[in-house]
A and B are shown apart, each in its own frame.
Chain A
């Protein structure tokens, strides 16, 4: 063994300094990654600032627990509760929405830019699913007409077409190919006058907070007088078009689901009656209202139309 030479030994002061430095460095490394991890896990400013809905007709809200644990989100699963767990890793920020078709300037905008542009308000709406259940939800967002005013559709634009994001890595059902439960990506549509109606709403939140993934985060449509499947989730594209878009459920089963899908207690689904509904959380049923209770506001849109044929 070679004798240890004095000048190869680190002086004690330096030795201590290095230990201190390493400790500091390791500590800093751990804490900064821990903090950034925590920051990343936190939903980005999940509470929202908005004009509240005074709820003049005193609708009774369903609980947040009910509205966030009972969903139809076939991109994850056909089960009502499975999407809650399956969607938790969904990356909803940043999220760009594309605006194309017969509008002044085709463009992409991030959800936060849309919020900054149009501001936020609360809308307490009845929500009626074609399957026969219903709820009352306080949505937060902005009316679609504000967005359309900004996009300036031209005279060729007769309909608005909406498309859910197609990203099989995020939505497991989209990765199943021919075994998918429905055709992807999900498509919905509205006539231009329906789209411009003041009740038609683009939601980015509910119950005072940003939308949870299972409810169609980060941005979705809400059309309160139509069956829930019209209120398309996780929007990727909004296009102004000249022809009536073929919406997913109509394509899937045209005998059972139409383009309009207006809530109508007098027109039955071929498999069940639509006269009554099950309010979530209740064992008793209640009568379904014409246009889901928005008859006064929207009936004129359909004057002279045979709602049995154009269901």
Chain B
């Protein structure tokens, strides 16, 4: 079941590879595939615990897999920035790009997800689980980053914010009920 989930989640990457040759704006296309992939998976990783509370289905065993998949997409997204978009020009990356809120907000989100991925092994998770609440910061920053990626936000950008607010709202509501 988990391997099916992984296969399904990585399918868009196969599609991106297939379309790369004929893509009109290939770098932009790769940014979109990996960025949308990362943000959708980040949102999906919130679904299992909501689902357990709302409809009683226990999908918690998939949460870590979804989270790691989100990290893979985010890692690819950052790689495109460094390799294809900046062409390893670290002077420009550090002196110009990282000074722009659009870029450093995405970077902070990525570092949080990276640290979560690194502390996701059974042993480390027990120690660091309390810091995994930082996920909510990462998600909020990632949503803001995707808003800023467009000249003006469209249906998709508002859509993911709506879903994000829904999933976070459910948590706040559940937390208020139990305390």
Contacts and interface: CB of A to CB of B under 8 A. Distances in A.
Same complex for A and B? Answer yes
Interface in A127-178: 130-131, 133
Contacts of A270: 100-102
Given A273-B96, A273-B97, A278 B24 contact: no
A278 B25 contact: yes
B85 interface: yes
A35 to B, nearest CB: 37
A133 B85 contact: no
A275 B26 CA distance: 19
Contact of B148 (A70, A133, A271, A280): A271
Contacts of B20: 283
A171 to B, nearest CB: 16
Contacts of B151: 72, 78, 130-131
Of the candidates B23, B24, B103, the one having the most CB atoms from chain A within 10 angstroms of its own CB is B24
Given A270-B100, A273-B92, A252 B87 contact: no
B152 A182 contact: yes
Contacts of A32: none
A111 to B, nearest CB: 28
Interface string A268-301: 1011110110101111110000000000000000
A92 interface: no
B134 interface: no
Contacts of B84: 283-285
A271 B154 CA distance: 18
B108 interface: no
Contacts of A278: 25-28
A107 interface: no
Contacts of B87: 276, 284-285
A307 to B, nearest CB: 17
A66 interface: yes
A70 B24 contact: yes
Contacts of A252: 152
Contact of A280 (B25, B85, B100): B25
Contact of A69 (B24, B100, B150): B24
A80 interface: yes
B24 A268 contact: no
A181 interface: yes
Nearest to A279: B25
Contact of A283 (B26, B92, B96, B102): B26
30 contacts: A66-B24, A69-B24, A70-B24, A70-B25, A74-B152, A78-B150, A79-B154, A80-B25, A181-B154, A182-B152, A252-B152, A270-B101, A272-B97, A272-B102, A272-B103, A273-B92, A273-B97, A275-B92, A275-B96, A276-B87, A278-B26, A278-B27, A280-B25, A281-B24, A281-B26, A283-B26, A283-B27, A283-B84, A284-B84, A285-B87
Given A271-B100, A275-B96, 18 more contacts: A78-B151, A78-B154, A79-B154, A131-B151, A133-B25, A181-B154, A268-B96, A271-B103, A271-B148, A273-B100, A278-B25, A278-B27, A281-B24, A282-B26, A284-B84, A285-B84, A285-B85, A285-B87
Interface of B: 20, 23-28, 84-85, 87, 92, 96-97, 100-103, 148, 150-152, 154
The 5 closest A-B pairs by CB, nearest first: A271-B102, A70-B24, A78-B154, A66-B24, A273-B96
